[in-house]
Homo-oligomer: A and B are copies of this chain.
């Protein structure tokens, strides 16, 4: 294309929508052509997100008011379940990147089990490509519909997939302990995400059953060629952005580090730290990078793998732009090489 791709963002009034606008604002290959938010239709984006006030953006409108004939690609940043209904009714040839959970699970029965209802667009499900760019790059480049990963899933998968594939850890003894910033819970007001409840607090949540677990099952089993079931405990951090997974495995730590370092040697966004170092969420904030570290355990044959990323960027909107770059034939890293914001 000799002009920037024209982008629609469906669900622009949430945090992932705003993050998409932030990223596209300085992306040379994309421009925002439509922004939807059904309940806020008619409003200026500056009213909803004053930090985007300097940009010349279209007003928020209803999805039904978008003329998709002029759109090259749509990001769908809508809530789970709503997404599948909306995407079902979009033009069938519209390139679409979905940030919700709706098309992540390949098996409709598994979807129904984890999400508690039948899928509303089962015909589209086989078409959807799982959006973990580093692992599905070629399929994504050819895809019409890409389902971005869960932010927790991305963190765990990036830290583990190479070692699961290489068979250098005991597949029955994987524990993913994870802590995530509160922006992952979205902008809808809830008691549990008030400043008063989050600040100076730390606790596990959705402990018995977190839906991102289904993505772990799907991808680890696929990678291993057998069923893999992991233990997963997410915690809520008193901070806005960032996920750190602390992964307990049985295997030789130096070998694990070697496998990871080799697997990601050419990846532009995955940084494997020197052996023995561990990452921090503050060092990836606002960026599309994922930092991975491996540290030995005091007991031989055991290791800790650490994986850190920004849930709103590499964990969702940055990953979405990375996938959109591929789908549009743009350089994969275009618009995404900004350094983390620290402090």
| Whole-angstrom CA separation of A295 from B206 in the bound complex | 11
Judge if A52 is at the interface, Cβ distance under 8 Å.
yes
> Within the complex, what minimum Cβ distance (angstroms) separates A257 from chain B?
14
| B residues less than 8 Å from A283 (CB atoms) | 50-51, 53, 201
| B residues less than 8 Å from A279 (CB atoms) | 50, 203
Judge if A136 is at the interface, Cβ distance under 8 Å.
no
Judge if A60 is at the interface, Cβ distance under 8 Å.
no
Closest to A184 in B: B196
A337 near B26 with CB under 8 A, answer yes
A201 near B280 with CB under 8 A, answer yes
Per-residue contact bits, chain A 248-269, to B (CB 8 Å; 1 contact, 0 not): 1000000000000000000000
Per-residue contact bits, chain A 200-218, to B (CB 8 Å; 1 contact, 0 not): 1111100111000100000
| Whole-angstrom CA separation of A342 from B198 in the bound complex | 11
| Whole-angstrom CA separation of A283 from B197 in the bound complex | 10
> Within the complex, what minimum Cβ distance (angstroms) separates A200 from chain B?
5
B195 near A51 with CB under 8 A, answer no
| Whole-angstrom CA separation of A244 from B234 in the bound complex | 13
Judge if A108 is at the interface, Cβ distance under 8 Å.
no
Given B15, B55, B200, which contacts A242 in the complex, CB threshold below 8 Å? Answer: B200
Per-residue contact bits, chain A 273-285, to B (CB 8 Å; 1 contact, 0 not): 1001011111111
Closest to A310 in B: B341
A291 near B53 with CB under 8 A, answer yes
B342 near A49 with CB under 8 A, answer yes
Copies of this protein, total: 4
> Within the complex, what minimum Cβ distance (angstroms) separates A221 from chain B?
14
| B residues less than 8 Å from A285 (CB atoms) | 51, 200, 341
> Within the complex, what minimum Cβ distance (angstroms) separates A231 from chain B?
5
Given B175, B203, B241, which contacts A278 in the complex, CB threshold below 8 Å? Answer: B203
Judge if A104 is at the interface, Cβ distance under 8 Å.
no
> Within the complex, what minimum Cβ distance (angstroms) separates A335 from chain B?
10
A199 near B209 with CB under 8 A, answer no
Closest to A201 in B: B282
Judge if A320 is at the interface, Cβ distance under 8 Å.
no
Given B26, B204, B240, B273, which contacts A196 in the complex, CB threshold below 8 Å? Answer: B240
A240 near B199 with CB under 8 A, answer yes
Judge if A1 is at the interface, Cβ distance under 8 Å.
no
A52 near B231 with CB under 8 A, answer no
B299 near A229 with CB under 8 A, answer yes
User: A-B pairs with the 7 shortest C-beta distances?
Assistant: A201-B282, A203-B280, A189-B189, A196-B343, A51-B283, A51-B340, A195-B198
What are 6 A-B interface contacts by the 8 Å CB criterion? A15-B196, A51-B285, A200-B282, A201-B283, A235-B246, A241-B343
Beyond A50-B279, A208-B298, list 15 extra A-B contacts (CB 8 Å): A26-B338, A50-B291, A51-B340, A53-B273, A177-B246, A177-B248, A193-B194, A193-B195, A199-B199, A199-B239, A201-B282, A204-B278, A204-B295, A233-B304, A238-B239
* Residues of chain A having any CB pair with chain B under 8 Å: 15, 18, 21-22, 25-26, 49-55, 175, 177, 179, 181-183, 187, 189-191, 193-204, 207-209, 213, 229, 231-233, 235, 237-242, 244, 246, 248, 271, 273, 276, 278-287, 289, 291, 295-299, 302, 304, 306, 308, 312, 337-343
